[in-house]
Structure 1
Amino acid sequence: MSKIIIYFLLFISSYSINHVNINKLDVQSRNGTVFMSMNSFSKIGVDLKRSKNTFILNTDLGKYYLIDNRIITPQKEYTYLSIPFISQEKYYLPLELILELNGAYLKNNKIIRSVEPKNPNIFPKRIISLSPGITEKIFALGGEDLLVGRTSFSTYPEEVKNIDIVGTMFEPNLEIILDKDPDTVIAETHFRKKLMSTLNSLGISVTKYQTPINIPEIHRSIVDLGVLLGRHLEARGLNASLKDKINYTRYILRDQEVPKVYYVLGSGKTDITPGGDTFINSLMVLAGGENIAKEKNGWRYSLEELILNNPDIIFGSQRNIDNMLMEENYYFLTAIKNKNHYIIPDDSIFNLPGPRALTQGIYEMVKIFHPESAKKLKPKY
């Protein structure tokens, strides 16, 4: 009987969330974020309670505890910026963050339930990651205890050095992989079909994801990986944290002029930069810049296009910036003439489509594009 009641309550909650317009509820807006009163959350089927300085959120996956600026899950803690407040003796909490934790989102002022993958029958216990982006996300989800192998390309976070190397991203060592006795190997787009077939024939499951090419795909990849690892609760918590910080970034940059920017990844014989179909382009837009290569697909560019589009700002690694400064062909560029070229000490923060790119990566770009606004982000991120 108790199971029937639980299923009924979950059904009512799902129905409520899918059929509510927030204009009819008690909401307030602060710093570009919509906050909703606790009483209104109860009206849409959200189970939210308060105990002293802690908000307790019961969801279909389990409990979240919100204390100060932290989202606490069984495996990991995440920070957020839209701190609850009291107005007229009522508590208000960030609507989109609470919805994300409940597996829902806001669209055109309507609350819609997200479509999420189902949990696998068995969760892996011994994982080898063949992608730096996957490795970073596993750590971010609190799943590092499951990792038994990674490639030499995986260097973040620092604790990854405690995980044994099984070769490079493009040439993993099959013998070492087998010696690690994994139940799952996780890879991304670059993974070769032949190696996948070999591993499958040896009874090792292989999960291959498409490398994200924009910010929504990064969020989706976090959910997919979280479900696979049994860290679904953490996946929602991580995404809620990231989306809250992204919304704040958009808010503080809302009235800024947008400079034309160029991210140099290669110069000289071949000019290389991220085109409009790359996730790095999404980062540049979010950080308040206009990518001059936004109309291009892929990574190839030309000197003629660079001179024609003449960026206000150029940024990249020390080596790539130095290469441009040594080539006379680039002297015509306004950013070179005015010395508006900037060195990124570690450009891997842009090159891996994961949580770090959406926090530290965005911050590093905002420091270059809008230095005054970056001061508002530094203590937040």
Structure 2
Amino acid sequence: MLLILCLSNGKIFIDELGNEVRVEKVERIVSLAPNITEIVFALGMGEKLVGVTDFCDYPEEAKKKEKIGGFINPNVEKIISLKPDLVIATKDGNDPVAIERIKNFKIPVFVIYPMDFEGVIRTILSISEILGVKEKGNILVKEMKRVAEEIGMKIKGRKKKRVLLLYETSPIIASGPGTLADNLIKMAGSENVLSDSPLRYPKINLETAISRNPDVVIITEMKVGSESLKGIKEAFRGKVFLVKGDLINRAGPRLIYGLEEIFKILHPYEE
């Protein structure tokens, strides 16, 4: 994000889609995604959140905030009634029509679009700057980078493992290229067996999964069907591990914990 102009009545920022956003003093924030909510809380600005989505469940305090509807279909009328002086949205999931409707009411909307770890770093810095807590953003980002760099050092010279990461097991929805999970797998020194897929979230059958011959199968806890999970465990005996989905799927501060979890699975004897 680039601050391009300071005005007597606020500042003009460039969001992650290249749009100019005029922002005055931020006191009332509406978040349109769980990762945005987590970032705002991590920056110590949770008390300024007046509205969050139905899916914003972390940290615990987020559950107590006024709800503005779903992630994909937020209630625009509800958002407007909360009189926010800033709405933070994401291109990866929010309805662009809803975003434009909010803008029509002269409410500034800052849109983020983090697609990998580095994108999350940039987003945290952008939000910290627009909220006037740049130093807190720098501290948070510094720690995330430190952990990532440590893992980067530990994986040097190690043989890459072949990883199949599944979001759902019935049907089987996997991680293809360009996902946060795909990025974390690479950062942990391994390769995604579906990196050649034309889709970011390919739907595959068990036979396809087996044919990719993964060394490790990681399943997030987004949606795990008991019977389908049993079949996958039988097919990949001793190779299946569960990871909390929010740590891998949310482009926020806890993504670094997701990287640590994947690293521990792939390198269980590393201290």
Pairwise same-fold verdict (TM > 0.5): yes
Structure 2 match to 1:174: 76
Deviating 4+ runs (over 6 angstroms): none
Structure 2 match to 1:262: 164
Larger relative CO (CA 8 A, sep 6+): 1 or 2? 2
Amino acid at match of 2:142: A
User: 2:255 aligned to 357, 364, 367, which one?
Assistant: 357
Structure 1 match to 2:118: 216
* Separation in structure 2 between the aligned mates of residue 151 and residue 241 of structure 1, nearest angstrom: 28
CA, structure 1 residues 324+261, in 2 after alignment: closer, same or farther (shift >3 Å)? farther
Q: Does 1:307 align with 2:203?
A: no
Q: Does 1:237 align with 2:139?
A: yes
Structure 1 match to 2:265: 368
Amino acid at match of 2:269: E
* Separation in structure 2 between the aligned mates of residue 306 and residue 236 of structure 1, nearest angstrom: 41
Structure 1 match to 2:246: 348
CA, structure 1 residues 301+196, in 2 after alignment: closer, same or farther (shift >3 Å)? closer
**Is residue 149–residue 177 contact of structure 1 (8 Å, CA) maintained in 2?**
yes
Q: CA deviation at 1:325?
A: 4.3
Report the count of equivalent residues. Answer: 251
* Separation in structure 2 between the aligned mates of residue 364 and residue 125 of structure 1, nearest angstrom: 36
Structure 2 match to 1:289: 190
CA, structure 1 residues 175+185, in 2 after alignment: closer, same or farther (shift >3 Å)? same
Q: Does 1:188 align with 2:90?
A: yes
CA, structure 1 residues 213+193, in 2 after alignment: closer, same or farther (shift >3 Å)? closer
User: 2:224 aligned to 313, 316, 320, which one?
Assistant: 320
Structure 2 match to 1:273: 174
* Structure 1 unpaired stretches of 5+: 1-114, 377-381
Quick check: which has more Rg, 1 or 2? 1
**Is residue 261–residue 314 contact of structure 1 (8 Å, CA) maintained in 2?**
yes
**Is residue 275–residue 298 contact of structure 1 (8 Å, CA) maintained in 2?**
yes
* Separation in structure 2 between the aligned mates of residue 332 and residue 152 of structure 1, nearest angstrom: 36
Q: TM-score, normalised by structure 1?
A: 0.60
Structure 2 match to 1:198: 101
User: 1:143 aligned to 39, 45, 50, which one?
Assistant: 45
* Separation in structure 1 between the aligned mates of residue 212 and residue 80 of structure 2, nearest angstrom: 51
User: 1:251 aligned to 129, 141, 153, which one?
Assistant: 153
Structure 2 match to 1:156: 58
Q: TM-score, normalised by structure 2?
A: 0.83
**Is residue 275–residue 281 contact of structure 1 (8 Å, CA) maintained in 2?**
yes
